[in-house]
């Protein structure tokens, strides 16, 4: 699979504040690529550099094998984006908005083209409704239709589910999956809704304070063989001593009222049996390996955590 985007040692400073710090990552053609980080981590700053809205302090951005700094126009013609909330004409209809943006993009417009785009994002029945009457989810979907009108190879979505209700979030999830699976688009999705990224992304990066913490294939990063188990017993000291001599001693730690250990999820029943057979009363035993737990374990770690790449 070919590399569609390569970011090399990208940094951005604002008056002494380093928003992005030596960031490198790659996006392959066909990826739904999750771009994750807490608020202030540097996600939006990075996306604005990808879209040439702000200039990097240092580093290179290579799109489609071409240096962005030297091929801006060509690269942007193959890229569509929705940055935060889409900028739409609220007193015009969905149809008229899409028509205007198509003209601005130099697209040869036809009624069929515009209606096909509105159908794609589930707005064909509201084509003649003014945007001011739309819910936030509908505005987000119309923004994606605008980003798609020139048939780009890459779509960049910055926090596309912000402000959406559960149904709107589900609609956005299904639309992103449709863009990837049915239309063959490469999609970069920046979000703090980690459970959503877990459901749609095949690859991801987590950044914290402008630095890469981890990058890799979602299924490998969330390998069930690397589950973190959080255990509380009636006698944690005895349980901890027992587990120190077990096959699960690697990564064993006692933290507050919990014992944490790393193990294959399939071994959890055996762990429970061993503790019970030894007379250790179990109060709770909880596997922790959703993307949210993984994300929090990394971003809450101390600054000495080293970046890794799978």
Choose from 23-32, 77-86, 198-207 the range with maximum mean pLDDT: 23-32
- Tokens representing 60? 């290179």
Both 216 and 228 in one domain: the answer is no
Residue 81 in any domain: the answer is yes
Residue 158 in any domain: the answer is yes
The torsion angles phi and psi of 159, rounded to 5 degrees, stand at 50, 60
Whether the per-residue pLDDT at 132 is higher than 90: the answer is: yes
Both 128 and 152 in one domain: the answer is yes
User: What's residue 86's pLDDT?
Assistant: 83
Packing angle between helix 136-148 and helix 111-120, nearest 10 degrees?
A: 130
Both 23 and 79 in one domain: the answer is yes
How many domains does the chain fold into?
Answer: 2
Residue 243 in any domain: the answer is yes
pLDDT band at residue 299 under the 50/70/90 scheme: low
Residue 188 in any domain: the answer is yes
Both 143 and 64 in one domain: the answer is yes
Q: How far is CA 206 from CA 56, 91, 291, 300, 304, in A?
A: 20, 39, 11, 12, 16
Both 40 and 178 in one domain: the answer is yes
User: What's residue 45's pLDDT?
Assistant: 95
pLDDT band at residue 257 under the 50/70/90 scheme: confident
* Final residue of a structural domain among 220, 244, 264: 220
Both 159 and 106 in one domain: the answer is yes
Whether the per-residue pLDDT at 189 is higher than 90: the answer is: yes
Both 211 and 254 in one domain: the answer is no
Both 146 and 30 in one domain: the answer is yes
Residue 306 in any domain: the answer is no
pLDDT band at residue 304 under the 50/70/90 scheme: very low
Both 149 and 233 in one domain: the answer is no
Residue 300 in any domain: the answer is no
Burial class (CB in 10 A: 0-12, 13-18, 19+), 105: middle
Both 276 and 176 in one domain: the answer is no
CB atoms within 10 A of CB 16: 5
Both 90 and 210 in one domain: the answer is yes
pLDDT tens by residue, 278-290 = 898 999 888 866 5
What average pLDDT does range 215-238 have in this prediction?
83
Range of the domain at 244: 224-289
- Domain with 32 in it: what CATH number? 3.40.50.300
Pairing state between β 211-217 and 308-309: parallel
Residue 65 in any domain: the answer is yes
What average pLDDT does range 247-261 have in this prediction?
83
For the chain, what percent of residues have pLDDT higher than 70? Answer: 92
User: What's residue 146's pLDDT?
Assistant: 94
What average pLDDT does range 171-194 have in this prediction?
91
**Mean of the per-residue pLDDT values of the chain:** 88
pLDDT tens by residue, 41-56 = 899 999 999 999 999 9
Residue 62 in any domain: the answer is yes
Question: pTM of this prediction?
Answer: 0.79
Calpha distance 189→172 (Å, rounded): 11
What average pLDDT does range 226-250 have in this prediction?
86
Both 199 and 248 in one domain: the answer is no
- Domain with 247 in it: what CATH number? 3.30.70.100
In the chain the first and final C-alpha atoms are separated, in Å, by 16
- Residue 164 makes CB contacts below 8 A (sequence gap 6+) with 136, 137, 140, 172
Choose from 41-45, 260-264, 297-301 the range with maximum mean pLDDT: 41-45
């Amino acid at each position: 699979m070919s590399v569609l985007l390569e970011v090399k040692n990208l940094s951005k400073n604002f008056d002494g504040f380093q928003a992005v710090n030596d960031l490198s990552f790659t996006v392959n053609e066909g990826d739904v690529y999750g771009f994750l980080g807490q608020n202030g981590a540097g996600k939006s700053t990075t996306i604005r550099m990808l879209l040439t809205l702000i200039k990097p302090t240092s580093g290179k951005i290579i799109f489609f094998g071409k240096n962005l700094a030297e091929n801006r126009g060509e690269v942007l013609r193959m890229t569509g984006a929705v940055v935060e909330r889409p900028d739409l004409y609220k007193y015009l209809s969905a149809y008229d908005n899409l028509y205007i943006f198509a003209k601005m993009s130099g697209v040869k417009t036809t009624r069929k083209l515009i209606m096909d785009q509105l159908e794609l994002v589930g707005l064909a029945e509201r084509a003649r409704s003014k945007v001011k009457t739309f819910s936030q989810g509908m505005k987000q979907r119309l923004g994606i239709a605008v980003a798609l009108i020139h048939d780009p190879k890459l779509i960049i979505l910055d926090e596309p589910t912000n402000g959406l209700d559960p149904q709107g979030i589900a609609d956005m999830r299904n639309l992103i999956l449709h863009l990837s699976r049915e239309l063959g688009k490469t999609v970069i999705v920046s979000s703090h809704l980690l459970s959503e990224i877990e459901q749609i992304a095949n690859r991801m990066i987590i950044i914290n304070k402008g630095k890469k913490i981890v990058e890799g294939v979602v299924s490998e990063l969330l390998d069930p063989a690397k589950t973190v188990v959080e255990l509380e017993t009636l006698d944690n000291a005895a349980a901890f001593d027992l587990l120190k001599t077990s096959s699960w001693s690697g990564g064993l730690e006692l933290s507050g009222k919990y014992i944490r250990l790393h193990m294959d999820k399939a071994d959890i029943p055996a762990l429970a049996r061993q503790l019970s057979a030894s007379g250790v009363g179990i109060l709770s035993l909880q596997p922790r390996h959703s993307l949210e737990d993984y994300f929090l374990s990394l971003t809450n770690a101390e600054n000495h955590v080293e970046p890794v790449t799978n």
